Structures are given as structure tokens and as C-alpha cells.
Amino acid sequence: MLTQDQLSRLLEQTQNIAKEVGAFIRKERQHFDVEKVEHKGFNDLVSYVDKEAERQIVEKLSEILPEAGFITEEGTNNTQAELYNWVIDPLDGTTNFIHGIPNFSVSIALIEKNEVVLGVVYEINRHECFYAMKGGGAFCNDTKIKVSGAPDLSASLIATGFPYYNFELIDRYLNSMKSLMQKTHGLRRLGSAAVDLCYVAAGRTEGFFEYNLNSYDVAAGAIIVLEAGGTVTDFSGGSDYVFGRKIVASNGNIHAEFLAVLDEFWK
């Protein structure tokens, strides 16, 4: 098992990797050719930037923790190890990136067995690096962050992400949104789940929910929320949010009320 000192060193190294790869992505965006976009599936877009960014991340992470395996979005390396695995989204918010909307990020987490122990999310356009390790608190650019103190949904701003494929559950989702619109300060859809989670951690929003997500979308952001004093569950209030494809994050104060709204439509 890694010691706290070892985790701390890995956290610093991971931040540096995220920033280095983020600089590559930022540079590529300046002259990006939309015609080079590929389709993995309906509305599931990928570019050479995603693939090259992931290759760079995997290569650099392999150097700092050789025994770890990988769970990656673009499949550069999905050889998993028994104890440690890196969970990587090289460009969370690809659609934003392709269209030139300035909200996309690099997301890297480290899982020990089934527990996330380290997370880094680098929002490329604002040069904001959010990070946390288990038991170490949450930070943005070396400043400690914490969740909002809003007491209930009526004082809350909620973030979410729209489904872009697999629309079988869209009515449940839209009904959830309709209810939350009437109970909160409003809803926001920014386009990067990793950033959405970090905004909850930083107190910019009070909650976030989304379904149909993958582990690499949420693993890093989830530990950052937890270390900032927030709460993260699946839609039923359980702990299967990294691999369960449904996640609810909040400042903690609103969590029960938030889940009650979702439960009305997601039973």
C-alpha cells in the first residue's frame, strides 16, 4: 500500500502531467481542424487530440507508478492491475473542444482496489488545477477549497449533463430537470462532468447529477468533492457511483432533499 508521503508525491507528479498535457490540448485547439473529428458512435466524438493526449498521459503515468494498470477512455492501455489502476479521461468535454466552447479538462484518478485515493482535474482554459488525495483535503491551484454552505435546494444552483446517446431514460431525466427547475436557483449544463464535480467542491454550485457516465468521467472529480466536505452517491444513495453510471454530488446539506427529487422519477 502507498504511504501518505508516496501519495502526496504522486499527486504532485500527476498535477504536472495534467498541466503538461493540458498545454498540448490548448495549443492544438488554436488551429484545430473539425474535419479530423471521428465518430465512435452516435454523437460520441473523438479527435486525434484526445488520442494523443491519452497516449502522453499513459506514458508519463507509467513512469511514476510502473506497477499500476489503466482504465482509459480511448483504449490506449486498458490492462488493469490487481491493486492500483489509473482512470483517465484525456479530454473531458470533447464536444466543447471541437466547437470551441472553453470548458474542457484533463481528468486523472488513481484507484486502490475499488477506492479512489487520488484525483486531478485540470480545467484547461481557466488554468485551474483541482486536486485531492484521500485524507488530504481538496485544492484548486494551491488554495484549499470547500463546498458551499447552502442549507437546502431552494438556495442551490445545480449542474447536470445532457444525454447525447442512449435516450431510453430521457423522460425520467427531463422530469427530474423540470422538478429541480422549480425548486432551485436554476440548472446549468457546462459540458464537462469532471469540471461540474469540481465546481461543487469549490462551492460554485451546490449539486450535480448525471446518468450514463463512465468511471473516467467521474472518478477524479468525486474524490475532490469528498475531500472538500461534500457527499457523493449513486441515485439510490449508495456508493456505486464510479462504475454504476449514475452519480449525485452535493454540498451534503442538500443531499437528502436532492435524492428525494430524483427518487420520484428514478425508482
Annotated binding site for Mg(2+): 73, 89, 91-92, 217
Strands (DSSP E) contained in 147-245 are: 157-160, 186-189, 207-211, 231-233
- Within the chain, how many helices (H) and strands (E) appear? 7, 14
**Residues tagged in the binding site annotation:** 73, 89, 91-92, 217
For residues 107 and 71, give the distance between their C-alpha atoms in angstroms, rounded to a whole number: 12
Q: Which of 65, 213, 194, 203 has the alpha carbon at shortest distance from 122?
A: 194
**CB 227 within 8 Å of CB 213:** no
| Half-sphere CA count of 26, side-chain side, radius 13 A | 15
Q: Which of 196, 203, 192 has the alpha carbon at shortest distance from 253?
A: 203
Q: What dihedral do alpha carbons 129, 134, 137, 140 form, nearest 10°?
A: 0
Residue 260 has a CB neighbour count (10 Å cut-off) of: 11
Return the C-alpha cell found at 97. Answer: 473542444
